[in-house]
Structure 1
Amino acid sequence: MKELLITATDTDAGKTILTIALTAYWQTYHKDLKLGLFKPIQTGIGDRELYTKLFSLDQSLDEINPLWYETPVAPPVASEREGRLVELDRVWSTFTTLRQQKDFVLVEGLGGLGSPVTHELTVADIARDWHLPTILVVPVKLGAIAQTVANVALARQMKVNLLGIILNCVKPCSEKEIADWTPVELIESLTQVQVCGVIPHLADITDLGKLAKAASNLDLEKFLPVLTKV
């Protein structure tokens, strides 16, 4: 396994937090391994700008994010408004080259697993067609159980290689709220997918030390076997 797709139940669920936490952990403890960051498609300002602000990456902006739209909406809508195609061939070519150059590539998806990439394809289609091992980020909030069950069912229907689930505290959460809104045993029983940990609420997403610490508390061996946990 040389890549991992980080997807979620929806927009703002915590894909970026997990991506930068894993990158902070990697660059802190595993500098001998070459890590690539890849955002296949981005609409509006966001992840690629944050990556380059936080990390010294041996990648150009186009290598990080080969397809960018100014309009912050779903790619099929943005492409129509800007009179441009969703050039998946270009995205795939850039990704293939990056895989050859790096020991491992973290791929941050857009939106959620069911979010549209084109008028015909969703993120789940891309995960299946590109054979991307996948981790699902679930926000800790009321309704998370149903969202998780639905997204795991979609992953299973689309034959996505779903390795595990990460819970993310999108706002400060008590232990009781985490247990009430996202009970691990119930989620695992309903989905038959392992919950690989919880990311606490991080008020400052630029604090690399706290990001690396959050990643270190996850069950990394389940979805990042290339790493040896410190």
Structure 2
Amino acid sequence: MTQQQYTIAIGGIDTDIGKSYITGLFARYLLDLGHSVTTLKLVQTGCTGISDDIELHRKLMGQPLTDFDRDSTTCPYLFPFPASPLLSARMVGKTIEESVLDQSVATLQKRYQWVLVEGAGGLMVPLTTDLVLLDFYAARKMPMVLVGSPRLGSINHIRLSLEAIKARDISLLGLVYNLYGEHPKEIVQDTLLECRKALTDYGFKQNLVIVPDIRESSAASWQILADAARAHADSQG
């Protein structure tokens, strides 16, 4: 019997929101369950050599770098200037090609049961003059995990992100509420309430994962996302 393959997009409401940590932690959870799993960083800017986000993923997964990491399969585009993928590529005379991104995805799908695909920056960041990140995910019908936080401005960013996801008919597996950092408890509590309301308002399931989990049941939290991914795959036949 052919094993079900799961390819999941990990998107964020903004840059520096914790996508890389969430990607690595979710991958580690799946790995601990005995699944074959890897991560893919579509584009990284502000970096040279091997992607430091991929290095972070492997550290959180408790694994060394792989051959796919060293040959750039897991990060096909890496640019030194810290800006949008479009600008960073332009500054070194390059253009991001969808076919290159697709080849990385396809290569990893053949080798791993689970492929977690992390984007760069927020959902509407431009990859080319004609393509934003969210449209790349939508065209490939990748279900998404959205990462948000309680930092000031997040309520607005979360709602805009959910609206954009819904408009593209993308399946939302869950919203990760990333509590890392120093945040006023009043904002943490209020934003959490607003996250729940936003999910309801836009017609998404209440799959809200809190990291670190306030019940200290991280396994149960990550299982929410894994179960949602399986349910999505089943619904697609």
- Compared CA separation, residues 108 and 116, structure 1 to 2 (3 A): same
After TM superposition, the score normalised by the length of structure 2 is: 0.80
Contact persistence 1:128–1:161 (CA under 8 A) = no
- The CA distance in 2 between the partners of 1:80 and 1:173, in whole Å, is 36
Q: Give CA deviations for 1:163-221 in whole Å, capped at 9, x if unaligned.
A: 221111141457654221221432233222224211139xxxxxxxx9xx645434234
Q: Give, in angstroms, the shift of residue 52 of structure 1.
A: 4.1
Name the structure, 1 or 2, with higher relative contact order (CA <8 Å, separation 6+): 1
Identical-pair percentage: 24
Q: Which residue of 1 aligns with 2:202?
A: 191
Determine the C-alpha separation between the residues in 2 that align with 1:177 and 1:125.
Answer: 31
What runs of 5+ residues in structure 2 fail to find an aligned partner? Answer: 232-237
Q: Which residue of 1 aligns with 2:29?
A: 25
Contact 1:39 1:65 in 2 (8 A): yes
Any unmatched runs of 5+ in structure 1? 202-209
2:158 match? 148
Partner Cα distance (2:16, 2:191) in 1: 17
Matched residue count: 214
| Partner SS, residue 150 of structure 1 | helix
Taking the aligned partners of 2:153 and 2:227, their CA distance within structure 1 comes to 26
Other-structure match for 2:212? 200
Contact 2:11/2:122 (<8 A) preserved: yes
Equivalent residues of 2:6, 2:114 under 8 A apart: yes
Name 2:235's counterpart in structure 1: none
The alignment status of 1:67 with 2:69, answered yes or no, reads: no
1:16 aligns to what?
A: 20
Please state how far the C-alpha of 1:86 moved relative to its aligned partner.
1.0
Distance, in Å, in 1 between the alignment partners of 2:220 and 2:64 is: 21
Structural mapping, 1:166-177, within 5 Å:
166-173=176-183, 176-177=186-187
Please, what TM-score do these two structures have when normalized by structure 1?
A: 0.82
Q: State the distance in 2 between where 1:151 and 1:195 align.
A: 16
